[in-house]
Structure 1
């Protein structure tokens, strides 16, 4: 939102709630915060396996 304030309302975001969900962020609260700054929504099914994330976390930080 700081970038949008700097450049104006022509800048918006692609809202993908799955990225918020697996990071523990409430997507509904984010929608209320972003409001009309949301220009596009990317929806998909996501399942966070509690066992897998408790062992491996949500992000794979292995070097390639």
Structure 2
């Protein structure tokens, strides 16, 4: 199941970049970042900073504190 989620993540993450630009370089950069995040398996706080900035870390911390 984890491999399926990794594949969906790698395919779905560049799609918003396609909506923002027609240039292939930024789209390729987002795709490479998605695949490298899958391959490296960074810890979630690091991934949250990369994907969502400070808001992602704050949201993750508040959801962990509420448990």
* TM score, norm. by length of structure 2: 0.24
Q: Which structure has the larger Rg?
A: 1
**Structure of greater relative contact order (alpha carbons < 8 Å, 6+ residues apart):** 1
Higher strand share: 1
Greater helix fraction, Structure 1 or Structure 2: 2
